[in-house]
Chains A and B, each alone.
Chain A
Amino acid sequence: AQSVTQLDSQVPVFEEAPVELRCNYSSSVSVYLFWYVQYPNQGLQLLLKYLSGSTLVKGINGFEAEFNKSQTSFHLRKPSVHISDTAEYFCAVTSLLSDYKLSFGAGTTVTVRA
């Protein structure tokens, strides 16, 4: 079975400060990893994905994530956040073992303050 743990449920951060959201996964086979963002009263939007190749993945809105196989992590970062980055962020994993169904973490709520 595969699973995802998001280590922080709430992350308050000041505008223009950096932010890191932590995600660890467990799986016995090769995985594909995703970060989704959910703005208030909206559905989920794909931020970025790791499929293969370079372990540093760049996404939309200035976000990037690094896949670390030895630590089974896929942490999300942004060097300077804006008020508009206030949202809930979900890490998700899929693999051949799960027939490519997604398993989601519990989510991290990011609140950006001026």
Chain B
Amino acid sequence: DVKVTQSSRYLVKRTGEKVFLECVQDMDHENMFWYRQDPGLGLRLIYFSYDVKMKEKGDIPEGYSVSREKKERFSLILESASTNQTSMYLCASRTPSGDNQPQHFGDGTRLSIL
């Protein structure tokens, strides 16, 4: 069974801080994704990575960056946290073999910026 682990379930940070959200998957998946989830908006793609050291902007990349130095780990970075980045953040991974493979999700990190 695929396991996607997000390092924190709840996180509270202050405005202006640099924040790191970590995600690790154990199935050797090439593709990894970061979403934010807000009420009434569903999930919106922030960044994704097709493979190690590769990254592509999603629909809402502003204020965020990512790092993928190892295949199993995909980090989301809030360069200077702001209150409008308070949200639930979800990481996902998938294998691209067979282009219609589903994404597997972590349990999410609920981030509050004060």
Contact = CB atoms under 8 A, between A and B. Distances in A.
B103 interface: yes
B48 A101 contact: yes
Contact of B90 (A6, A43, A107): A43
B42 A43 contact: no
B41 A43 contact: no
Interface stretch (B11-19, B69-77, B104-112): B104-112
Interface centre among B44, B92, B102 (most CB of A within 10 A): B102
Given A43-B108, A44-B90, A106-B40, A101 B45 contact: yes
Interface stretch (A14-22, A45-53, A67-75, A77-85): A45-53
Contact of B99 (A9, A96, A105): A96
A46 B105 CA distance: 9
Contacts of B21: none
Interface string B37-65: 00011111100100000000010000000
Nearest to B45: A101
Contact of A104 (B9, B43, B100): B43
How large, as a class, is the contact surface on chain A? 20 to 34
Nearest to B92: A44
A43 B106 contact: yes
B17 to A, nearest CB: 24
A90 B102 CA distance: 13
Interface centre among A4, A32, A46, A104 (most CB of B within 10 A): A104
A13 B99 CA distance: 36
A4 B42 CA distance: 10
8 contacts: A34-B102, A42-B107, A94-B100, A100-B100, A104-B43, A106-B40, A106-B41, A107-B40
Interface of A: 4, 6, 9, 32, 34, 36, 41-46, 49, 51, 90, 94, 96, 100-102, 104-107
